[in-house]
Structure 1
Amino acid sequence: MGSRSSSRAARVLAAALAGGCALALPGLARAEMPTFEVIAENGHLMPETIEVPANTRFRLTLINRNAGPEEFETTRPFKELVVGPGVTRSTIFPPLKPGTYPFFGEFHPDTAKGRFVAK
């Protein structure tokens, strides 16, 4: 019986280790995802042009240094990210085909403008 218990324990340990490795992989993939920052300040979004790798998911982090909230928005692909003053938030973008994709700050539409350039 001791042999069966040892064998079962080894299988349980192997399964647990395999499960642990599987759980670690998404975190590893997230760490390797390209990340870009946009700062909302004084009614502007900086930088105004962000070069992103085409056909690759990426993370956008918005840092709001405005006195009030800002809403980062794109229409293609459609994304909205509302960020309160002094708050930082992130969102994931799907892979973009090569091209130019405008973005803007909805609360400062005349001055908070920019674009992603997927290459």
Structure 2
Amino acid sequence: MNPARLSAAAFAAALLAAPLVAHAEMPTFEVVAENGRFTPETIEVPADTRFRLRLTNRNAGPEEFETTRPFKELVVGPGVTRTTIYPPLKAGTYPFFGEFHPDTAKGQFIAR
């Protein structure tokens, strides 16, 4: 086999695998919705870095995890786990809340 072709094939394989590696390295933060509350209520995330939020709903009914800045909504049925990707956040505090339990399901991202 021609070494130049092998190098091109190896390069192509590396390019195809790159998104998988980048995806695996993304910081992931776990949140549980239970009894009308989110745990944890405060999540420290790295500033200027995309991150993944994984929400597990242990409530008897659905919950909607929502942020207004940036605007994101994630509706999760009872007993279901879903994920969403957040864009990089500048350093600061970003509140989140549960649409179906607005008085008790509250929290914040703190980007540092």
What range is the shorter-chain TM-score in? over 0.9
- TM-score, with normalisation over the residues of structure 2? 0.93
Structure 1 gaps of 5+ residues are: 1-5
Structure 1 vs Structure 2 CA RMSD: 1.2
Aligned-residue offset at 1:18: 1.7
Aligned-residue offset at 1:20: 1.3
Structure-1 separation of matches of 2:84 and 2:12 = 27
- TM-score, with normalisation over the residues of structure 1? 0.88
Structure-1 separation of matches of 2:6 and 2:77 = 46
Alignment of 1:1-119 (within 5 A): 6-7=1-2, 10-119=3-112
Q: Residue by residue, what CA displacement relative to the aligned partner does 1:43-62 show, whole Å, maximum 9, x if unpaired?
A: 10110000111111111000
Runs of 4+ in structure 1 over 4 Å off:
none
* Equivalent residue pairs, number: 112
**Larger Cα-atom Rg:** 1
Structure 2 gaps of 5+ residues are: none
